[in-house]
Structure 1
Amino acid sequence: MNASIHHEATIPDSAAGLRIDQALAEMFPDYSRSRLQQWLKSEQILVDGRACKPRERVLGGELVVVRAEAGNDAAVEPQAIELDVLFEDAQILVLNKPAGLVVHPGAGNPDRTLQNALLHRHPHLEGIPRCGIVHRIDKDTSGLLVVALTLKAHKSLVDQLQDKSVGREYDALVAGTFTGGGTVEGAIGRHPRDRKRMAVVATGKPAITHYRVTERFSAHTLLRVHLETGRTHQIRVHMAYMQHPLVGDPVYGGRPRLPAGADEAIRQTLARFPRQALHAARLRLQHPDTNEEMSWDAPRPADFEALLDAMRAFEAERGQRNDR
């Protein structure tokens, strides 16, 4: 039996000019855009009391009322994709997502996503918002995700994320050096000129990132990053905002920064690293059914470790040259 859904919210002024389906996707991230579009077309979403087409533009300030059935995203088909599952019971599933696996279908990635894999493993997830995926990590970020397998678990995990009791820690290799740890506070929203990017903007949603130094290199630093909030691209945006972008970040990273005396090997290693050097390494939460505090750790993947090994080897050789 599908779950009934009821939400009321006001479209923020910062969404002015967006298509209605785009604005709704930002307001209700628990649901895919395709599902929101279906609800608009079937008049299960009303904007200022009237039915709207997904392509209509919003002004900001409109009242949105959602009265819908959870139902299945018809466009999302079950697909047999192997998953690295670290824990699973009747309520939750915790997995280690590889870099390259998209979480939800979208433009350019219609299938072969985590959502397709979850529907194959647990068909009943079609009746749970976003097929139980309560938080996301980017396609090219690796690491830990928790999935709700029941509506009870979904509500519990969403509540925990909202009250910031879920612990999420990441390993991030960034350009530049740090004297110590710290905190970044900067509201994150859509870039004012490039809607595909996020940025620190006054009209964004509050975002807080804590970090501490794990390992130092001459021109880079390995950080352990703790998220207090969970905005889109939060770590990537905050590190770039501090002028310490993630190594390999194709959107926010800019040109690779090279250490002094860089040889061809380290130049090629940094230039060819194919993704942002970011890994969701630790996850902590309260079990939705037993209330037990649980945590999981996932080791950095092979490509990330190989990058660090190459940097360590360069630093060692650089130190030997300096000692001569």
Structure 2
Amino acid sequence: MTTIRHEAVVPLGAAGRRFDQALAEMFPDYSRSRLSGWIRSGAVTLDGVPAPPRQLLRGGERVQLQVELENEVSSAAEDIALAVVHEDEHLLVLDKPAGLVVHPGAGNPAGTLLNALLHHDPRLAELPRAGIVHRLDKDTSGLMVVARTLPTYTALVDLLSRHEVERQYEAVVLGTLVAGGTVDAPIGRSLGDRLRQAVRDEEDGKRAVTHYRVRERFRAHSLLQCRLETGRTHQIRVHLAHIGHPLVGDPLYGGGLKLPKGASAELAAALRGFRRQALHAEQLSFIHPATGEALSFGAERPADQQRLIDALRADLAEHGSDHY
């Protein structure tokens, strides 16, 4: 259990402000909702006594905050290997393999990234979601950042909400695109299947923007670079399917097997054997919340995606670009 202690004096400029509003400005490392909860619990005092969140201040009061952080996560720690790309006292950057579920849930009560994180650092049990501030789908590989302290958790959530975490992906899709572009289409839960997301109208969906460019074209497929401006569930998968170029292997949004004319047995086997969405989070960049340092990390594409791309390149080399 970790104890948080802070003492401060209410600035004179905060006179007439509500207690909870002023506290959020005095302690920006913690979210407003968390600070309000601490006020209501009596963990924050004004001049030594508890005060309601809406109490108006005169300025100059002495604020004391003392909180015992109890576990917010009840899942068990499990000894699951983690590919740690970067680690310091504030955060972790991980390269998640395809097939690893991020959070425990229905059908996946254990064996998740969260369980692995609790084994790596038991103190993460004191943080919401064990410090996980964003996620990747089970069968998407690549980079994730995880907070190790409550202030870092708050700061990373804020960076994500302001779209100041750059996330770049590599995708293999059906069809040959001539040029890159942007998909700006709201996303919400599908009305026909609760496991799926779908492009919806602005009233029912949340704003979602994906930028993409073509890296390579093959005879019946394309290799894309995708950059998220927003971070909705299944965003890249939904958006690329929406424009008619679903991800190879995608079980929810894919368009099925597509073999170019005269495809070799090797290419047919590579495409049939790729049983997950061909999506890899290859680059992650952000400003370190504690140090202010600009950080950028890369993760090599996984072996199965490399084999798929090699097979597509070999097919193109055999048949030539005139067979698009």
User: If the TM-score is normalised by the length of the shorter chain, which range does it land in?
Assistant: 0.7 to 0.9
Shift of 1:71: 3.1
The verdict on how the C-alpha distance between 1:3 and 1:171 changes in structure 2, with shifts beyond 3 A counting, is farther
> Match of 2:132?
133
Listed one character per residue, the Cα deviations across residues 11-55 of structure 1 (whole Å, up to 9, x for unaligned) are: xxxxxxxxxxxxxxxxxxxxxxxxxxxxxxxxxxxxxxxxxxxxx
RMSD: 1.8
Q: Which residue of 2 aligns with 1:280?
A: 281
Deviation of 1:266 after TM superposition, in Å, equals 1.7
Structure 2: unaligned runs, 5 residues or longer: 5-68
Secondary structure at the counterpart of residue 238 of structure 1: helix
Deviations 1:87-139 (A, max 9, x none): 00000100100001110011111111100000011111111111000000001
Question: How far has the Cα of 1:265 moved from its partner?
Answer: 2.6
Equivalent runs, 1:1-324 vs 2, <5 Å: 1=1, 71-74=71-74, 76-202=75-201, 203-319=204-320
**SS at 2:156 equivalent:** helix
Structure 2 counterpart of 1:107, which letter? A
2:174·2:255 contact (CA, 8 Å) conserved in 1? no
* Distance of aligned partners of 1:263 and 1:106 in 2 relative to their CA distance in 1, 3 Å threshold: same
SS at match of 2:306: helix
Secondary structure at the counterpart of residue 105 of structure 1: coil
Q: Give the AA of the match of 1:86.
A: V
Cα distance in 1, alignment partners of residues 217 and 229 from structure 2: 24
When residues 213 and 106 of structure 1 are mapped into structure 2, their CA distance, relative to the original with a 3 A threshold, is: same
- Distance in 2 separating the partners of 1:157 and 1:261: 49
Give the Cα–Cα distance (whole angstroms) in 1 for the partners of residues 234 and 146 of structure 2.
20
- What CA distance in whole angstroms lies between the structure 2 residues aligned with 1:188 and 1:267? 33
TM norm structure 2: 0.76
Amino acid at match of 1:218: R
CA drift of 1:271 comes to: 1.4
Answer yes or no: is the 8 Å Cα contact 1:2–1:71 preserved in 2. no
Question: Matched residues in 1 for 2:280 and 2:94: separation?
Answer: 13
Deviation string 1:290-315 (CA, Å, 9 cap, x unpaired) is: 11110000010100000000111111
Partner of 1:20: none
Which piece of structure 1 moves more, 224-233 or 247-256? 247-256
Q: For 1:290, what is the secondary structure of its paired residue?
A: coil
Q: Structure 1, unaligned stretches of length 5 or more? A: 5-68
Which amino acid counterpart does residue 143 of structure 1 have in structure 2?
G
TM-score (norm 1): 0.76
* Contact kept? 2:187, 2:207, Cα under 8 Å: yes
- Structure 2 SS opposite 1:280: strand
Q: Answer yes or no: is the 8 Å Cα contact 1:184–1:210 preserved in 2.
A: yes
Q: Distance in 2 between matches of 1:70 and 1:169?
A: 35
Alpha-carbon distance in structure 1 between the residues aligned to 2:107 and 2:190: 21
Structure 1 residue 216 displacement after superposition:
1.0
Identity of aligned residues (%): 56
Q: Indicate if the aligned counterparts of 1:174 and 1:220 stay in contact, CA closer than 8 A.
A: yes
Which one has a bigger Cα radius of gyration?
Answer: 2
In the comparison of the two structures, how many residue pairs are matched? 257
- Name the amino acid aligned to 1:215: E
Tell me which residue corresponds to 2:22. none
* Whole-angstrom distance in 1 between the partners of 2:132 and 2:114: 8
CA drift at 1:142: 0.4
Alignment check: 8 A CA contact 1:3 1:128 kept: no
Which secondary structure does the structure 2 equivalent of 1:154 belong to?
helix
